[in-house]
Chains A and B, each alone.
Chain A
Amino acid sequence: MHNTEVEILLVEDSDLDAEITIRALRKNKISNHIVHLSDGVKALDFLFCNGEYSNRDITQKPRLILLDLKMPKIDGTEVLAVLKSHVETQSIPVVVLTSSKEHPDVNKCYNLGVNSYIVKPVGFQNFMEAIATSGIYWMLINQPVE
């Protein structure tokens, strides 16, 4: 699958949240190719074609990155900082998904240049809607960099 075109990269350590997210996207007909990675290290390896992803085609950039903040090893803000500081990756829209608005890094994320910051809503219907709306916006409405 390494050479397959990736449209959405989901970086999320919770398999359950990942499943809900993917389900929400699919339910809203956003069934583009989605890759789910469970931590920041894998995400960076994937994007920069290192480690187990060294054979991947680096020109195949995802159209959207859904990024969880609280992850083991390298957390979401660190991943974001790397992405936004590299020319190759800085134009990829990044939507941060977090469980809590209490997170002290909200401001940090915006300073790093996050494109959107979404608190996973308490209501589960709402969560589905939020994911769907965001997915529709970034995948269908937003005009990406040429």
Chain B
Amino acid sequence: MKMRNNLNNLLGLLGLLLITAKLIFSSWNIIEFTFLPATLFLVLLGSLMVFETNKIDVQLYLKLTGQDLFKGSQKEYAHRNGFIDREWITDHSFPTEEWVSGWQKPHAAAFSVDQDQIIHQTEKDIAGRSDEPAYAEHANYPTFHHNSGQGTSIRTMEIPIPISEIPMAVTGSPIRINSIQNLWDEKLQEFNYFFNHSRDLACLVDPNGTLELINPVFEKTIGLFKYEIIGQQFISFVHPDDIEMSLKEIENLVSGAQSLNIINRYRKKDGTYIWLDWNLSGEPKTGKIVAIARDISDLKKAEFEINQLHEKLEQKVMERTSQLEAAVQELETFTYSVSHDLRTPLRAIGSYAQMLEEDYLQALDEEGKRVLLTIRKSAEKMGTLIDDLLSFSRLGKQAIQKSPVDMNSCVLDLLDLLQHVYKHKAEIIIHTMPDAFCDRSLIRQVILNLLGNAIKYSSKNDHPVIELFATRKEQDIVFCIKDNGIGFDMKYAHKLFGVFQRLHGEKEFEGNGVGLAISERIINLHGGRIWAESIPGEGATFYFSLPVAV
């Protein structure tokens, strides 16, 4: 608005310099600029505009050619973003003598001044002016002078916008224009900095699929010079196996996708391939594609190695598993053999001894009968031992089946059996116990073992008393079986639960040292713990804990 006043006041005093549009474009000394990825360019432009719209002596105009005027999309874009507030129409191809209709008229309309207030000046006129030293250096820039009076000139600078292919024009005082120019240069330098120093490959592909612009990393990665790459088909570097997939994806982009990612193999100068992870963005107006790629060859290599290791590991696991399975199988065969082959002769010993007893008892004297009985009993004991060992080893591979178990009735059921087996005189006191969550038959076996032990080891007491009770301890129920028998020395407590470990001689108390080992294994299978306390001569208390049902 201030500008318009200036123009009115200084009517006819200064000339307007016009340089043809062709000159403008070819002299815009940033060829690469036109190749900049469009998105970055717009950011750059946008920031400049924000900066400039606050200055009152500079207005921004969108210059449209007559042909494009009413197509509107670029205009809308510029308006929407506040880049312009006025516009004028021109045509680059008009003859110089028609400049009045080509330049003067639209300029005058845009600035609301009379046509003859805008004066045409030549490039030479600008270069020679002492008050505009900067223009001498920038004589090749697109420059239009407005006669704005009081020794102040207004200059118009055209900025090509590659993405819209319609130049943006900036009009203002020479000083402002100059500072805008510097700002542009700065922004361009920034852009170039990012573009040239990017560690990712960047390129611009034209609608025909030809590489138009590449950054230095692109050159370096592929191993070819820029001139060897520019003009080549983007797809010509793609690995034959990846071409179909890549083209298909690019087609999606052309048919409307905003951006997409593809991973393909790209050929280097030496004929080897690298893995590139591309981000492709399409520009629907120009049909160009901005492609940014990261070299993920190392990643792919690592991935490949991981896969290989994984496969090897799988194979190893399979080998080991089959070895383990074979070992388990062998163990089972062994177990079977033990139980079958050891028992067959044993059964013969026992049975034949019995036959002897049945058929020839009269022929034997007392010593003969004693020897025969010993043979039978020993054979029977060995049979029990084999059975116990087998059930102990079987526990290792057995899956337990837990359910709520009424421990009181479980114990009561056992009392008859115990009386039958041991013919004991012990008083057994059962305090009410909570239900347990366990495998009934296995826990029954544990209680049978522990009660049997209690009866056995208290049998020499005149008044054997056995107590069963349970306490809740945090997440466990602890069951206790207390007797007033001979007890054991606590320094041997660690040997209690070992297989074939006994703390008392066979003569004192019968037993084969497997019962507690089995009990411990059962309790461990339940996630519980078994232990014992004792004072020799005063009795022993055995404890086992079972986790409360979750």
Contacts and interface: CB of A to CB of B under 8 A. Distances in A.
Contacts of B390: 102
Interface of B is mostly: helix
A102 B339 contact: yes
B354 A122 contact: no
Nearest to A21: B351
A14 B345 CA distance: 9
A104 B336 contact: yes
Given A122-B384, A124-B376, A125-B354, A98 B340 contact: yes
Given A16-B345, A102-B340, 12 more contacts: A16-B352, A20-B347, A102-B332, A102-B335, A102-B390, A104-B336, A122-B383, A122-B384, A123-B350, A124-B351, A127-B351, A128-B354
18 contacts: A14-B348, A16-B344, A16-B347, A16-B348, A17-B344, A20-B348, A20-B351, A99-B341, A100-B336, A100-B340, A102-B340, A103-B340, A122-B343, A122-B383, A122-B387, A124-B379, A124-B380, A125-B354
A91 to B, nearest CB: 30
Interface of A is mostly: loop
A36 interface: no
A127 B339 contact: no
Interface in A96-134: 98-104, 120, 122-125, 127-128
B355 interface: yes
Contacts of B353: 124
A17 B355 contact: no
Interface string B339-372: 1110111011011111100000000000000000
Interface in B316-350: 332, 335-336, 339-341, 343-345, 347-348, 350
Interface of A: 14, 16-17, 20, 23, 70, 98-104, 120, 122-125, 127-128
Interface residues of B, number: 26
A122 B339 contact: no
Among A20, A101, A123, A124, the most chain B Cβ lie within 10 Å of the Cβ of: A124
Contacts of B343: 99-100, 120, 122
B354 A120 contact: no
Among A23, A70, A100, A128, the most chain B Cβ lie within 10 Å of the Cβ of: A100
A132 to B, nearest CB: 13
Contacts of B376: 124
Contact of A102 (B336, B347, B383, B384): B336
Given A70-B340, A122-B384, A124-B354, A104 B332 contact: yes
A23 B348 CA distance: 13
Nearest to A124: B350
Among B335, B344, B345, the most chain A Cβ lie within 10 Å of the Cβ of: B344
A26 to B, nearest CB: 12
Contacts of A23: 355
Contacts of B386: 122
